[in-house]
Amino acid sequence: MAKVIVMDHPLIQHKLSILRDENTGTNQFRGIVSEIAMLMIYDATRDLPLETVLVKTPIAVAECKKISGKTLAFVPILRAGLGMVDGAINLVPAAKIGHIGLYRDEETLQPVEYFCKLPKDIEHRDVFVLDPMLATGGSAIDAITQIKKRNPLSIKFLCIIAAPEGLKALQAAHPDVDIICAGLDSHLNENGYIVPGLGDAGDRIFGTK
Ligand code: PRP
Ligand code: URA
């Protein structure tokens, strides 16, 4: 079974509290989503393979380490996952970026797919799927199913807040995918929103409410 990691770093927890606050405006919300994504990527990439290279410093030749292989692809789930891309590519500028467009039908809560464009060489890459919210898990499960059809080296799912219901569903559907989140909340309400959560992530990032 895949790992579930709840990131308890004080910086992440502090920033998450600002995101949750209903008085946090769009500009600050967007900035903090990006910062949290960067901190999460920093930790989630700690097991990337390294290779030894020789580097000539002004003084001598040094045995150094570099990340080996084609490495990473980030795949945000539109819309809200887009808010995490800047932070991620700040740390890994060479990563390729795919996009999966999904929205939750408000009545059925089922994901509806409207876009999928992934890097051509994704089979040589470790993929990080980005979405701030894991609620029922439907969107994440669907996105990962699409990505798996292209046989990437590995997949990790990064979200800012997860609900227990979504975690359970995602682990059952994709037991090989590690899940990394900043907060694990209490439950979903009758409208499928995470409690206490932060509201509608897409609307808060893009100011559409
Ligand atoms: C939100 C969120 C996830 C999804 C989570 O997107 O960004 O993609 O809901 O819910 P689930 O786990 O129950 O599938 P939403 O459907 O609101 O679309 P948006 O990002 O375009 O606003
Ligand atoms: N999507 C969101 O944006 N927020 C939730 O609480 C649940 C799904």
Ligand 2 centroid from CA 33, angstroms: 14
Ligand 1 centroid from CA 17, angstroms: 20
Question: What pLDDT, on the 0 to 100 scale, is given for residue 70?
Answer: 73
Q: Terminus-to-terminus CA distance in the chain, angstroms?
A: 39
Give residue ranges with CB within 6 A of ligand 1: 77-80, 102-104, 109, 111, 131-140, 166, 192, 200-202
Question: What pLDDT, on the 0 to 100 scale, is given for residue 209?
Answer: 81
Question: What pLDDT, on the 0 to 100 scale, is given for residue 104?
Answer: 83
Between the CA of residue 64 and those of 8, 67, 68, what are the distances in Å? 31, 10, 12
Task: Tell me how long the chain is.
Answer: 209
> For residue 39, is it left (φ>0), alpha (ψ between -120 and 50) or beta?
alpha
Between the CA of residue 140 and those of 43, 81, 92, what are the distances in Å? 21, 11, 22
Question: What pLDDT, on the 0 to 100 scale, is given for residue 81?
Answer: 98
Residue located nearest, by CA, to atom 2 of ligand 2: 200
Rounded Cα distance, 163 and 150, in Å: 28
143, exposed or middle or buried, with CB in 10 Å at 0-12, 13-18, 19+?
Answer: buried
Question: What pLDDT, on the 0 to 100 scale, is given for residue 52?
Answer: 97
Q: State if residue 194 touches ligand 2 by the CB under 6 angstroms criterion.
A: yes
User: Consecutive sets of 10 residues in the chain, 209 residues long: mean pLDDT of each?
Assistant: 91 98 98 98 93 98 91 96 97 96 89 95 96 97 97 97 98 97 97 97 95
Residue located nearest, by CA, to atom 3 of ligand 1: 133
Question: What pLDDT, on the 0 to 100 scale, is given for residue 32?
Answer: 98
Ligand 2 centroid from CA 154, angstroms: 26
Q: Which amino acid is at 15?
A: K
Pair of tokens at residue 10: 């004080």
Pair of tokens at residue 195: 């409690």
Q: Which atom of ligand 2 is nearest to the CA of 204?
A: 3
